[in-house]
Chain A
């Protein structure tokens, strides 16, 4: 048995015995929670070493598929010198002691890199000191490895558990010494994910799998348009459906509670809820497109270097183009849901949430109770992609549970999940550029027209719009650069979607650069590299992607390559897509990804995130589009909004630029380059420039 196999088995046994989220156990709900800590040595919020040597690590980030549980545990265990076979991971409840728990912005590893390693290192130093004191030797003559303290001179050793209680009485060092990266045994290795075995047995408990004694299953009839209201409904008809137990009204709509989700869905149909459309009831996609065009420019450009108009007027070649992007749904495979129990003592929620602390705060506010009366347990989540950052679904579940007086699981049907999304904003990008006689870029002007997440959520019309993320950092040298925003207000809910505005802005930027390369008669790779400073991190990923993809080498007839690159969330990615047409449909057959992300905490997790970002971005580029009529989304289930299938999956090859620098983000940076890489390949293949997403060939 290898160490990793042993690690998995031990972990599962422990997790099962403790009734944790990670395991299948009939007690998994009742027994869960970090407050069920073992006795022993707990020098920080992050870890405990019990007298038997078992190390418990609390994870303050959500596991939505990106490998947080394993990654966070590795950071602690590496510096602790823990025995990886003797650790268990516990998902932390919402609590300030875990710092910022929000899982978004590709920030988990970046934000935890220092604090979690320091927590591990501090504990290690205390365990070493405790053992050294026991032996009466200098701590500097001792070391730690695999859950033991060693005194090399005498060959003595003590397990962490044996000195845990001694260590607990020592002061926590403020500046523990971190390991030299050359000595890492877990960081940088493809440590098998702890969540893979339970996920392969159907034993991982997602939000929708929570079962609380006495709970009912609920669905909510909600108005289709933003700010719509319930006009009327017939509770008696719903209650006549077998299995339906209660009907309650909450601010977001009308909840039907039943013995099964199915009965609740049937009850909701019977309810015949009718809505007042509200102020956005006439909104449609054509109106939204007009709002984009008519929105005024912000008073000042975010970036204004040189005189763009003068540079354009003296340019040898001038190009201009408009690129458009649709609203997108998140469509995580697990529809939104939340389980809540509310009684005189407070509220307890089980939620697949990316923002447990925000959920806790907003639930407390909605219920009118203090936050310390609200417990939010975080479950596994069946995809997040940004949607689960928002607390609407936990707040609604808490209000339904309160109104009904029973524990309840509110499940959103797929239609609810689509129509009730906070959509990736639409966008219209107007670009102009000039080339001199030798094909050098002398002017770049990019106008981003898109609604602002920060303005919608804050209600503050003068807040920085944030819509230029992924555009304002235009990396290429140009004589003059102007980048500015126009920010319409549209009456649909918008939200963060994997890579946020970089998901929008990289497409026009990297497509238009490709247009310029062709106009200049230059190779798109060479053109990019000539415009980037020599030490720019995109140089390395462009070069690596080109090398691994065989850029410039002959391809079979009917296949073409395109390249694109982008920097976001602290990492840099270049992608080369190989594209062909199969029976008139776009087929991406291979994507070579080169990524520079500092230290790759787990190279296989990096590869997974690149594969995932490519597929998520490709699904959007090929077919993703939410349209609106009468204020509501017109797409309500998967056939209307069909993601990539296995038969369409390209081979994705990930190559990582070696580095020992601090890690960059990894969950999102792989996404922005895929749409422009495919668009650029399609141009190479067909001579046709596609400037709107999703791609339409005719």
Chain B
């Protein structure tokens, strides 16, 4: 048993220590907001926050994250009211929505670090998170909106 600290709650999982965090979240803990996209850290759909910083959850093992704070989309706010989530709704960002949990937690981490990001900051922070529906323009807009409205 390895006990993970997910969204502020200790969550024991009975998995081999080399299991990627992604599959612990999705298949052992039924926290399915975090998505599988590529399995090799190339698409960013599985992005979660580890001690507040974005990581690809398919690229870290449960052994590596033991004792550290994991925040998933489900834990970003109790009710979807995080400023980034509010901005996402105001700008109608999602289309299919599949990549959006990863986009949203990465945006939240960016704003926590840089409350007024420039377009270049957004490119740096968000560039590896792929969207096939074409929501990038709106992601940028929503991050600026959240920043303006005090996005942390």
Contact = CB atoms under 8 A, between A and B. Distances in A.
Interface string A399-439: 00000000000010110000000000000000000000000
Given A335-B36, A604-B92, A201 B133 contact: no
Contacts of A195: 94, 97
Contact of A637 (B16, B38, B97, B123): B38
Nearest to B80: A201
Q: Interface residues of B: mostly helix, strand, loop or mixed?
A: loop
Given A414-B39, A646-B122, A200 B85 contact: yes
A333 B95 contact: no
B54 interface: no
A649 B96 contact: no
A208 B94 contact: no
A335 B96 contact: no
Contacts of B72: 202
B133 A612 contact: yes
B37 to A, nearest CB: 6
A353 B140 CA distance: 30
A199 B97 contact: yes
A206 interface: yes
Contact of B101 (A193, A202, A384, A414): A202
A380 B27 contact: no
A199 B127 contact: no
A333 B45 contact: yes
Interface hub of B28, B88, B89, B97 (most chain A Cβ within 10 A): B97
B125 to A, nearest CB: 9
B132 A261 contact: no
A277 B24 CA distance: 36
Interface string B9-28: 00000011001101110111
B42 A639 contact: yes
Interface string A576-615: 0000000000000000000000000000100010011111
A290 interface: no
A515 interface: no
Nearest to B28: A260
Nearest to A331: B132
Interface string B80-93: 10000100110011
B26 A261 contact: yes
Contacts of A202: 32-34, 72-74, 100-101, 104
Interface hub of B28, B43, B96 (most chain A Cβ within 10 A): B96
A383 B132 contact: yes
A243 B79 CA distance: 34
B99 interface: yes
Contact of B27 (A192, A262, A652): A262
Contacts of B95: 65-67, 608, 612
Interface in A197-219: 197, 199-206, 208-209, 211, 217
A644 B99 CA distance: 14
A590 to B, nearest CB: 11
A467 interface: no
Contacts of A67: 95
A333 B98 CA distance: 7
Contacts of B15: 243, 260, 262
A644 B129 CA distance: 10
B34 to A, nearest CB: 7
Contacts of A196: 88-89, 92-94
A65 B96 contact: yes
B112 interface: no
Contacts of A611: 134-135, 137-138
Contacts of A208: 32, 35-36
A113 B58 CA distance: 43
A314 B106 CA distance: 63
A417 to B, nearest CB: 9
A645 interface: yes
Contact of B30 (A8, A203, A211): A211
A200 B80 contact: yes
Contacts of A638: 37-38, 40, 42-43, 130
A647 B137 CA distance: 10
Contacts of A197: 80, 89
A219 to B, nearest CB: 11
Interface hub of A64, A199, A203, A243 (most chain B Cβ within 10 A): A199
A335 B126 CA distance: 21
Given A196-B92, A262-B19, A608-B92, A382 B97 contact: yes
B23 A334 contact: no
Contacts of A644: 136
A201 B85 contact: yes
Contact of A414 (B27, B38, B132): B38
A615 B134 contact: yes
A419 to B, nearest CB: 14
A242 B42 CA distance: 27
Contact of A382 (B35, B127, B137): B35
A404 to B, nearest CB: 17
Contacts of B74: 201-203
A533 B67 CA distance: 70
A331 B38 CA distance: 10
A646 B132 contact: no
Contact of B32 (A205, A335, A413, A414): A205
Interface in A228-250: 242-243
B40 A200 contact: no
A296 to B, nearest CB: 37
A383 B36 contact: no
A414 to B, nearest CB: 4
B109 interface: no
Contacts of B92: 192-193, 196, 604, 608
A286 B101 CA distance: 41
B62 to A, nearest CB: 10
B60 interface: no
A162 interface: no
B150 interface: no
B134 A64 contact: no
Contacts of B127: 645-647
B5 interface: no
Contact of B132 (A205, A209, A619, A647): A619
A333 B43 contact: yes
B50 interface: no
Contact of B93 (A64, A200, A205, A614): A200
B88 A200 contact: yes
Contacts of B93: 196, 200
B139 interface: yes
Interface of A: 8, 64-67, 192-193, 195-197, 199-206, 208-209, 211, 217, 242-243, 259-263, 265, 331-335, 380-385, 411, 413-414, 604, 608, 611-616, 619, 637-639, 643-647, 649, 651-652
Interface of B: 15-16, 19-20, 22-24, 26-28, 30, 32-40, 42-43, 45, 72-74, 79-80, 85, 88-89, 92-101, 104, 122-123, 126-140
23 contacts: A66-B95, A199-B100, A202-B32, A262-B20, A263-B19, A333-B45, A333-B98, A333-B99, A333-B131, A380-B97, A608-B95, A608-B134, A611-B134, A612-B133, A614-B134, A616-B133, A637-B42, A638-B37, A638-B38, A638-B42, A643-B132, A645-B136, A647-B127
Given A201-B79, A611-B134, A646-B139, 5 more contacts: A201-B80, A260-B23, A612-B95, A614-B134, A646-B122
Closest CB pairs A-B (n = 3)? A202-B33, A382-B98, A65-B96
